[in-house]
A and B are shown apart, each in its own frame.
Chain A
Amino acid sequence: MHALLADSTLTGGLLTLAQSDFPHALSTLTLNHYLFVSAAMFALGIIGFLTRRNLIIMFLCTELMFQAAGLALIAFGRYHLNFDGQSFVIFVLTIAAAEAAMALALVVLLFRRRESLDADLWAELKG
């Protein structure tokens, strides 16, 4: 098994996600595990977004969903031995950083107006 993995490393044929010196439990990680984590993160994000009223928490939940999607992208990219997914996620992270800066600034502005972070206070726009 060791030889096989080393051999595969040498030839560049990366057959599994795990590396040769990973713990055994991790060496059997498959795409489904990663997708499960991603889905869990996304679901947590949604639930958090729907249940909380605090603007910052809601914003954090959206970030969580963002990263869940990014994780799924990386996992798929690795699975297909294709680096498009990873490079895509780098862009997503960059933009997410910029957007986070703006969103937090907005949250601060909204807080100054109402002295509160409750999202329901901003319902009169009916947008």
Chain B
Amino acid sequence: MGVSMTTIMDAILSAAVAQHGGEAAHAAVAASHGVTGPLWIGLIPLLPLLGVVLVTLLACFNEKSKMPAWISVGLLAVSFLLTLFAYLGWNGHDAIHLKLWDWIGLSWGDLRGQTLAAGFAFYFDGLSLLWMLFVTGLACLIGLYASEYMEHDAGLGYCRFFAAFNLFVFSMSCLVMGDNLLMLFLGWEGVGLCSYLLIGYFYKKKSAVDAGMKAFVVNRIGDLGLLMGMLLTFTTFGTLQYDALFNQIHTGLTAGGTPLSQTWQVWAIPLLLMGGAFGKSAQLFFYVWLPDAMEGPTPVSALIHAATMVTAGVYLVARMMPLYLADPAHIALTAVTWGGAITAFWSATIAVAQFDIKRIMGYSTISQLGYMFAGLGVLATTGGVFHVFTHAFFKATLFLSCGAVMHGFAGQLDMRKLSGLWSINGFRVVVIAMLIGCLNLSGFPFTGGYFSKDMIIAEAFVTPDSVIAGSSWAGWLLLLTAGMTAYYTFRVFFRVFVGPVVYEPGEDLHAHDDHEHADAHGHGHGHDDAHDHAAEHFHPHGPKWAINLVLTLLSVGCILSAGLYFLGDHHGWAGGMVHASSAVVDTHAVEGGEEALLFGQPPHEIMFYISAVFGFGGILLAAWFHGPKGIAGLLIGGRTTAAEVRMDPIAKALRPISTWAVRKWYVDEFYHLVLVTPLKIFAHLFHWFDKLIVDGLVNFFGATPRVSSDAIGESTQTGVLHDYALRMVAGIAVVLVVVVLVLF
């Protein structure tokens, strides 16, 4: 009894110290572990914001040239260079702080936890620097790509596109660079808005508008989790500022002095934040919005829905890693692991059956995001973050290659109607870029994707099941998924990019040919009778310099990203960045230093061979089933047309299952039945309740005097003075009688 009393007293005392010394301690930490950054760091997000203003002004002046693109690309390039300077000037371990102004300051008492303060402030540690490097870099490159890709919309559409594009980069920078959860939330909602605006860019197309709405609504459901997690964080820890928050978590006590491990918030907050992250990153139940988001222009799919925005959820979990680790039972981390692993597998099963090459890339994005979450869940934060980085490059490359195909074939994306791009004039760069992207995605040895994926899968075997329940099973599931990934990736490559030349233009033909006419002189192949025999006279046109340049640079980026694995002391460059951030995990402390073995070998070493086997297996399967005859099909393919492959009879034999897979397991239909339809019924009920009862009452009270006065007025408003006088007297008489009766 005496001992426990002393412990409690100690806890209370240290809590009191933490309360009173909170500000001072925070200041001391900032002084010792942080440096104040130069003011120009603030330009990194503000330059894209300036871009929004300038592009909007251009729209006001009805600018028809490519000026919006050049302004955006220029500003984004400066933004990227500033980020690069910030990185080069960074000392490698301390966070850089920069506060521009006080943004929110609410106070309702003097105690800790009664002040909600958030500055418009930036926080640059390894994690945010890594993210900002690829966000601004890729945004600049993809902006350049879009300058050509969107040229048929020059004018207001072009301005609209680039305004939203710049606004996205601004929001994403706030999300990543913010020094508190409120800044993150500002950016979080900002990128959601831009995503909505850009998915619905082709606003005359109903499917695009619906897809934008779907993305917005599904994201809002996740955001509810994020918001609740933030509020709980504030009530539990009394702050939303990262440094203060992590210091508080480090003490192992809540702001009120309760030991963290005894509270329910310790698992509830990370789970709620995970809900937000899963919504934004299209995981588990929330993934349905991302494939539909492919309705947006391809540069948008590449930047927002593959490389940057969808990794915001990964960023959130990585940033809040101390919070996840504070739970001794690792409930939230287990949920993150399994949520990621199941999503990775599930969306791979859909991707193998799709025919729309852009959708396949969409599903593979969901799948790869699943890998990243699984990586964070099994404490491989370095692997997860490195995979974010490599994935940003190779998935952007893949999307932009698909976009170049789409651009050249009038919107054709169906792999049954396209074949042999290698042999079509002007598509060589696209095919090579695609090949590099595919090799990365399928985890071909010595590519960036290979190293980053291996780190995640190996760590799943290293982390004991006692820490993360079923961790090694998740590892096997991820390995199987890696094989499927290789298969569906090369299924696209073997069918569309090599083999006999077959093509059919897509449905954008007429709009596309109008544009062909407009710049036929500059381009070299106009069509005289394009409108009459458009399909017969269709000539695919290869991309011009902007797209080719961007694809080349990105391919080089993909190749170089593999080299990052060999830099630095902490498992590559990404590991070094993670070690200088809040995402670092002391695995020995968490796992108890247990030596894990897989087939008698350390998992991190043997995984290079195992995953290579799975990767090769997938590629060979794809070559056998979908590869063309000859060397391009690795000598085992047998395809001679675009539409018929060896997979067809097998798919036919597996009829119900293969049809379900093509139909995406009817998940959309299921959601429609279970969620959308009941909600719609409720909405209609409430609508009618509102119309009939609420509006009805109001209208009734409004209409009653009008109708009755109309009726009475007709007979009573005679204009005869005596009538009025008589009625007045009668009224007074009645009142008097009543008064007398009541009083006496």
Interface positions of A (Cβ within 8 A of B): 46, 49-50, 53, 58, 119-120, 122-127
Question: Once the chains bind, are B719 and A119 in contact (CB under 8 Å)?
Answer: no
A-chain residues with CB within 8 Å of residue B726 when the two chains form the complex: 50
Contact with A along B691-720 (1 / 0, CB 8 A): 000000000000000000000000001111
Q: Confirm or deny: B721 has a beta carbon within 8 angstroms of a beta carbon on chain A.
A: yes
Contact with A along B717-744 (1 / 0, CB 8 A): 1111110011001000000000000000
Could you jot down 26 A-B contacts, CB within 8 Å? A46-B729, A49-B725, A50-B722, A50-B725, A50-B726, A50-B729, A53-B722, A58-B721, A119-B720, A119-B721, A119-B722, A120-B720, A120-B721, A120-B722, A122-B719, A122-B721, A123-B718, A123-B719, A123-B720, A123-B721, A124-B719, A125-B719, A126-B717, A126-B718, A126-B719, A127-B719
A-chain residues with CB within 8 Å of residue B722 when the two chains form the complex: 50, 53, 119-120
Interface positions of B (Cβ within 8 A of A): 717-722, 725-726, 729
A-chain residues with CB within 8 Å of residue B725 when the two chains form the complex: 49-50
Query: Which among B725, B726, B729 has the highest number of chain A CB atoms within 10 Å?
Result: B725
Nearest first, the 10 A-B pairs at minimum CB distance are A123-B719, A126-B719, A123-B720, A119-B721, A126-B717, A125-B719, A50-B726, A50-B725, A46-B729, A120-B720
A-chain residues with CB within 8 Å of residue B721 when the two chains form the complex: 58, 119-120, 122-123
CB distance from B371 to the nearest CB of A (A): 83
In the complex, A17 Cα to B721 Cα: how many Å? 40
A-chain residues with CB within 8 Å of residue B719 when the two chains form the complex: 122-127
B-chain residues with CB within 8 Å of residue A124 when the two chains form the complex: 719
B-chain residues with CB within 8 Å of residue A127 when the two chains form the complex: 719
A-chain residues with CB within 8 Å of residue B717 when the two chains form the complex: 126
Query: Which among B718, B722, B729 has the highest number of chain A CB atoms within 10 Å?
Result: B722
In the complex, A127 Cα to B719 Cα: how many Å? 6
In the complex, A124 Cα to B720 Cα: how many Å? 8
CB distance from B415 to the nearest CB of A (A): 81
A-chain residues with CB within 8 Å of residue B720 when the two chains form the complex: 119-120, 123
Closest residue of A by beta carbon distance from B720: A123
Closest residue of B by beta carbon distance from A46: B729
Closest residue of A by beta carbon distance from B723: A123
B-chain residues with CB within 8 Å of residue A119 when the two chains form the complex: 720-722
CB distance from B318 to the nearest CB of A (A): 79
B-chain residues with CB within 8 Å of residue A125 when the two chains form the complex: 719
In the complex, A119 Cα to B724 Cα: how many Å? 12
CB distance from A28 to the nearest CB of B (A): 26
In the complex, A58 Cα to B717 Cα: how many Å? 20
In the complex, A123 Cα to B720 Cα: how many Å? 5
CB distance from B717 to the nearest CB of A (A): 5
In the complex, A58 Cα to B722 Cα: how many Å? 10
B-chain residues with CB within 8 Å of residue A53 when the two chains form the complex: 722
In the complex, A53 Cα to B720 Cα: how many Å? 10
CB distance from A42 to the nearest CB of B (A): 11
In the complex, A46 Cα to B722 Cα: how many Å? 11
Apart from the given pairs A50-B722, A123-B720, A124-B719, 10 other A-B contacts in the complex at a CB distance below 8 Å:
A46-B729, A53-B722, A119-B720, A119-B721, A119-B722, A120-B720, A122-B721, A123-B719, A123-B721, A126-B719
Closest residue of B by beta carbon distance from A55: B721
Closest residue of B by beta carbon distance from A125: B719
In the complex, A46 Cα to B719 Cα: how many Å? 19
CB distance from A19 to the nearest CB of B (A): 34
